[in-house]
Each structure stands twice: as structure tokens, then as C-alpha cells.
Structure 1
Amino acid sequence: MAATTSAGDEQPETETQTPAQLIPLLPDDVALNCLARVPRCHHPILSLVSKTFRSLPTSPLLYATRSLARAAENILYVAIRLPPESGACWFTLLHRTLSTNSTNSTSLLVPIPSCPSPSLVGSAYVVVDSEIYVIGGSIRDVPSSSVWVLDCRFHTWRRVCNMRVGREFAAAGVIDGWIYVIGGCVVDNWARSINWAEMFDIKTQTWEPVASPGMEVREKWMHASAVMEGKVYAMADRNGVVYEPKEKKWGMPEKRLDLGWRGRACVIDNILYCYDYLGKIRGYVPKEKVWRELKGVESLPKFLCGATMANRGGKLVVLWEGKAGSGGSRRMEIWCAEIGVERRGEGEIWGKIDWSGTVLTVPNESAIVNCLAATV
């Protein structure tokens, strides 16, 4: 006789949990494509909309979609030395438009997690897409071979393979998937000599030496570096060097370039921008081998010291230090200006100030270390 099952013995069907949609009535891929276009500055607000949105700003899929939709933004990151620490604290520039009127906006530097090794002094910095590499630097006057990476999407840090030698105040630049690091170490023996320059394969995350035979200039400290026309320029206290990776060729920079380069510089459309000894912003055109003054920015102060520059999506960003208050209440103000640059007429370089203002107030003995723009 076959067994029977009464109605009371039947097991209730398990209720299926359906994941909540990002936006009701829209497929998730369409919703994600819409949300990817929300400006980065509004992501903290976006995470408060609902439980579904809470983890969205930390989702790798969101940033992959932003990249595919060409909605990624160039975000400015700034390293500032705050007393009594000798290393750098990190900030990002938050720029919000308060209304449909683009002139009604606010900009300020907000803190983010700093490097887990906060005592590094004299590090080199490069940007690779959405990441900033902090290369070397010294800890209590001892050069370090460490390399830290800031993931600007999630504001997290990780450590990658150490360099072959410790370095401080080295030059660095990125070309075709390789990071080239030059100088920053003492060449006092054969082992150090072959590692005076080395390169990092971003894909395999490994270091290799860069041969520099016959180089007479092997300075330890490099005060500036840049990449122009596929070449890495490393400027030392006396002269400097130029390395062309495709030809594996070393050379010397133009004397005119060396004499006019001061402070932190940046490259926009193969023109090198920095401030000169008169405090004016100038651009070096390598094809013409000439410096030209940036016109149209006469309202900016003379940058005699404490200014640094970055290329933010083709715009020239300048940060500088100002003073506020007096006596015991004296503080330092960090000022910022964003400038659109273009060539006109007979090789003239003109700038238009899109906005400028104070973005942070810090203790009086602070100093801007560097600023860079990453794509997120």
C-alpha cells in the first residue's frame, strides 16, 4: 500500500529572496549606467539614498562602468606636511557646484587616509590611471626602497615590490606601462651604479635596472622631473639628464630648459609649465626650445616659493601657500586656482582662470609636498 501524505504534513515552499533592484522598474545594467554618471563629489550623498546604494561607491563595477561610459573624472590629490609630523597627510579636492550657475560653487580639500608609512620624506610621485605611486623617500634620514600605492577609487593603500635600492628625492615618470625612477641614491660602488636608474613593469609589478653607461651626471638629488615627448626629464641641482626608453638613449637637457625650470612642474599638451625666478608662470615648448610667459593670469600672486602644479584633465591647477591671522593665531592658507591654457597667434600661451580661492587652512609651519590628478 502506497504511503500517503496528509495536507498537514506538506512542507511549506521556501520563499525566494529576490535581490533589490538599484532603481525600481529599471534593469540593473541600465540603472548602473545612469548612476555611473553621478559626479564623484556626490557619491557620499548617493550612499545615503538607500541600503541598495550604500555599498555602490565602493563597488569596482561602478568604476568600470564609469570608465566604459567615459564618465570618469580627473580628481586632484594633495600631500601636505603638517607639524609636528615630518611626513605627508593626504587630501582630495572636493569641488561642488551649488546651483545651475557655474560661478556659484565651492572647493575645499578634505582629508583621506594617509600612507601607512607616514614618516617618508622626499618621495617621488607618479600617477597611473586611478592610482598614485609613492616611491621611496627617507625615514629618519635613511633612504627607503618601499613603494606604496594609493587606490584613488576607494582611498585605500597597498604596498608593492620594493625597489632594488633605497632612494630619496629621486625623479620619476611613466611611459608605456613602465615607471622610470632616476637618481635619489649615492653612486659609490658598482652595485649602486647599475641601479642608479631602474624601471617598474606595472603589469608584472617587478623592478629591473636601467643601464646608464657612460653617464657623467649621476647626481643623488633630483629637484624636479617630467615626461615630454616620450622622454623622462630628471633635473638635478647641477644640470640633469634625459632618458628616451624607446631608443634606450641618455642625453642632457637643453641648457635653456635647465635654467628656467623651478619648483614643481606639470606637462599639458607637451608644454612644461612651472614658475620662474620672478614668480611668473611660464611654459617651455620643447619643439621651439623656448620659454614663454603664460599671459592672462596677472591677477595671481608671484609664486616665489611654496607653489606646485598639476595637469587636471588638460587644465593647469596651481596650489600655493598664503598667510592668515597674526601673532599666536597665525595660520597658513592653501590657495588653489584652475586655469584653462591654449596657444594663440605667434606661439603665445594664454590662460583663463576658471576659479580660484582658499581650499584649506592649516598650522603655520605646514608645507605643500605635491599635488597630482588621478582618473576615477
Structure 2
Amino acid sequence: MSSKTRSTKEQSSEPPSLIPSLPEDIIVEILARVGRCYYRKLSLVSKHFRSLVTSHELYARRSLLGCTEHTLYVVIYNKEKLNHQFYVLGRKANGNHSLVLIPSLSNMPRMGRFVAVGSRIYEFNRLNSISIDCRSQTVHLLPNMNVTMTSVSVADIIDGNIYVTGYCNNPLKQVMTVFNTETQMWEPKKTTPETMDGYMMWPGDCVVMAGKMYMRDDINSFVFDFDPKESKWEANKKMLNMFKWEDACVVDDVLYYYDCGWEVLRAYDPKESSWEVVDGLEELLAEARFSVWSYTGSYGGKLAMFYSKKTGRTKAIRCAVISLERRQGKEIWGTVEWCDDVLVGDDFYVVKSLDVIF
């Protein structure tokens, strides 16, 4: 028997692949039940699979099945290369966690403010605002703003509307506009708090709790709150002014931030109008006190705390994911679920973390 004939028989004896022969709706049904951590490998099977794992039909089915997952995207500034890059938090084969660079999103200028809505990330700046579809890692330009801004200071979301605040010149003043994520259009501009007791308002940080926006002045530590239902700003006279919170996040309508001066994780509950210190994190915060910067972000109902770490000449970003619970009324306790060096190498710091759901 010739080698050519033998080769043909060997090939014909191989069992055919079953999955490609299945109807496409059945394949989608199977993939919808598979964890997204496997989608990257599945995309290497074929061009067909690569298109399926980014398809609208697959994620619509995942949503109906309740199989959506939280994924943490992180914008990082590299102080040595002087650029901003997008990373995604993943898990390595050994069980540890790491930040993985997204090459397709690594070379875009990052001068604005970021907001995550479902499976999309929005970036707003004075020139070309964009949205990023995290399922396909594709970038889309948004319509031009209906106001002129020389810089964007803060942006956050309430009930599907993203409120974008910035400055315009001649004369220097604050302006606010609203982007509707359903219609993908800009709505009429809103009023902003420009002064308080004769001082110009300079927003330094912004959070949303219980449907209201809280904006902190970066210089004078004043806090204003905005109620979109009444479209009215008010000076916040409550205890939210007590600390100069920054790089804060909100989990279950409670504000959290790391107070590096006192080396504690603070929490503010607007219902109680009170500050608390989160207990149970002594070991973690003892290590974080040597960090030159820190950042807190919400992640699937938990808190992700980033801080810098240096061992000899090696620099790294360390991340801890913390679950939170109330005990005996007002007490809040934190439990560190894991803590890993997620990025090792150059001189980095975290600009923004974004909890994306898809």
C-alpha cells in the first residue's frame, strides 16, 4: 500500500469534530453557559468561534440566563513611558491574579474621565469622547458635546444618564451636560455650583450614592450634592465634609476611601450621616502604609484596593479584593479575599478602575 493511500485512510478514520456540525443556536446556548475566562482560548479554535464569543446574540443569551460576570478594567499611567494603558484583571494558571494589557486599547490618549455602563466604558474629554465595547474591544466615537469645555473635571452616572462637568473660558466658569446612554445623544446642559462663600468651585472627586451626586471641592474641601430629579445643587452641610476624601468608591451606597494619613479605610453612610472606620484590615493596611499612592474601586459588590509596592529595585502594583459586611448596627468589617502583585515592572499608578458587566 502506498504511503499516499495509507495517509488518506488515516485521515478518514479520524473522528469528525462534533461542535461545528451543531446548529449555531445550539453552539451559542453551550457557550453562554461557559465562563468568560475560557473565551480567549475558544476564540483561537476558528474564525467562526472568534466571531461567536464577541457576538451580541451570545451576550444577550448570557444575560437571559443570568450568567453575566463582573470584570475589572483598569486604566494605568506609566510614569516612565508617559502614557496611559488599559488592563483587565485576570487569573493566572497558578491561581494568582494579574493585570493583562489590552493591546488594542494601549495607544489611545487618555485625557478625560471614565464611566462604566454595563459592557461599555465611556471616556469624556474636550475633543473626541468615545465608547468602548468591552465584548469586542472596539472603539466608537460619540457625538460632539453640546457645550464647549476646555477640560473635563468629573463624570458619573445616575439612572442611565452620564453627567459630565468641566470648564469653559471667556469667562471662566463651570458647565455640565448630560449624555443619555439609551439614545446615545447629549441632552440640554445643567447648572453647576460655581461658588460657595465667594470661592470658586474646583471639583476634585465625585461619587454617586442613592441616586444623588456628591462632588468635593479639591481646594476648600466643600461638598455639593446634586439631585437630578430636582435638577438642583445644594451645599452639603453634613459630616461628608469632615474628611478630604479622594480616589473614593461607592459599594451599596456607602462611600469608601483609604485615609493614608491615619492609615485606615474610612466609610461614610449617607443614611446615618456618619463616618466609620472599617475593621478587620489591620494586616493589609500595615503593608499599604508604605505605598506612595493608593486607589479604591468597586468590583462586583466588593472593594478593590490598589497600592504601590517596592522590593529592592522591583516596583509593583498590589491589589486586594475586600468583602464588606455590617455587624452590630453601624460597624463595618472587611475581609481580604485575596491580595496579589498584579503588575510588576515600571513605575505605574492607577488612574481609574471600572467594573464592567457582561
Task: Name 1:55's counterpart in structure 2.
Answer: 51
1:55 aligned counterpart, secondary structure: helix
Task: Name 2:207's counterpart in structure 1.
Answer: 226
Q: Could you tell me how far 1:50 is from its partner in structure 2? A: 5.0
Task: Name 1:273's counterpart in structure 2.
Answer: 256
Task: Name 1:80's counterpart in structure 2.
Answer: 76
With over 3 angstroms needed to count, the CA separation of the structure-2 counterparts of 1:215 and 1:262, relative to structure 1, is: closer
Among 292, 299, 305, the residue aligned to 1:312: 299
With over 3 angstroms needed to count, the CA separation of the structure-2 counterparts of 1:57 and 1:318, relative to structure 1, is: same
Query: Which residues of structure 2 form unaligned runs of 5+?
Result: 1-15
1:170 aligned counterpart, secondary structure: strand
Residue 22 of structure 1 contacts residue 28 of structure 1 at CA under 8 Å; is this kept in 2?
Answer: no
Is residue 114 of structure 1 aligned with residue 105 of structure 2? yes
Identity percentage over the alignment? 36
Among 176, 196, 200, the residue aligned to 2:159: 176
* Superimposed CA distance per residue, residues 205-263 of structure 1 (whole angstroms, 9 cap, x where no aligned partner): 23234342775248564221111111111112121321110111211224521332422
2:151 aligned counterpart, secondary structure: coil
Among 44, 48, 54, the residue aligned to 2:40: 44
Within 1, Cα distance between the matches of 2:18 and 2:201? 54
Q: Could you tell me how far 1:80 is from its partner in structure 2? A: 0.9
| Structure 1 segment 243-262 matched on structure 2, within 5 A | 243-262=226-245
Structure with higher strand content: 2
Task: Name 2:191's counterpart in structure 1.
Answer: 212
Within 2, Cα distance between the matches of 1:159 and 1:62? 24
Within 1, Cα distance between the matches of 2:301 and 2:136? 24
Residue 73 of structure 1 contacts residue 375 of structure 1 at CA under 8 Å; is this kept in 2?
Answer: yes
Which range moves more in the overlay, 70-79 or 155-164?
Answer: 155-164
| Structure 1 segment 9-24 matched on structure 2, within 5 A | 23=19
Which range moves more in the overlay, 45-54 or 239-248?
Answer: 45-54
Task: Name 1:126's counterpart in structure 2.
Answer: 115
How many pairs does the alignment contain? Answer: 333
Q: Could you tell me how far 1:25 is from its partner in structure 2? A: 7.6
Within 2, Cα distance between the matches of 1:214 and 1:41? 44
Q: Could you tell me how far 1:60 is from its partner in structure 2? A: 2.1
Among 334, 342, 356, the residue aligned to 1:351: 334
Among 315, 320, 333, the residue aligned to 1:337: 320
Q: Could you tell me how far 1:349 is from its partner in structure 2? A: 0.5
Which residue identity is paired with 1:58? T
Structure with higher helix content: 2
Task: Name 1:370's counterpart in structure 2.
Answer: 352
Is residue 236 of structure 1 aligned with residue 217 of structure 2? yes
Residue 306 of structure 2 contacts residue 318 of structure 2 at CA under 8 Å; is this kept in 1?
Answer: yes
Within 1, Cα distance between the matches of 2:29 and 2:51? 16
Is residue 158 of structure 1 aligned with residue 140 of structure 2? yes
Within 2, Cα distance between the matches of 1:331 and 1:48? 34
Query: Which residues of structure 1 form unaligned runs of 5+?
Result: 1-19, 99-103, 137-143
TM-score (norm 1): 0.80
Which residue identity is paired with 2:258? Y
Residue 124 of structure 2 contacts residue 152 of structure 2 at CA under 8 Å; is this kept in 1?
Answer: no
Task: Name 2:60's counterpart in structure 1.
Answer: 64
Which range moves more in the overlay, 208-217 or 86-95?
Answer: 208-217
* Superimposed CA distance per residue, residues 319-361 of structure 1 (whole angstroms, 9 cap, x where no aligned partner): 1111133xxxx34201111111111113100111111110111
1:185 aligned counterpart, secondary structure: strand
TM-score (norm 2): 0.84
Which residue identity is paired with 1:69? L
Within 1, Cα distance between the matches of 2:193 and 2:100? 47
Among 98, 105, 108, the residue aligned to 2:95: 105
Within 2, Cα distance between the matches of 1:229 and 1:287? 9
What RMSD, in angstroms, separates the aligned Cα atoms of the two structures?
2.6
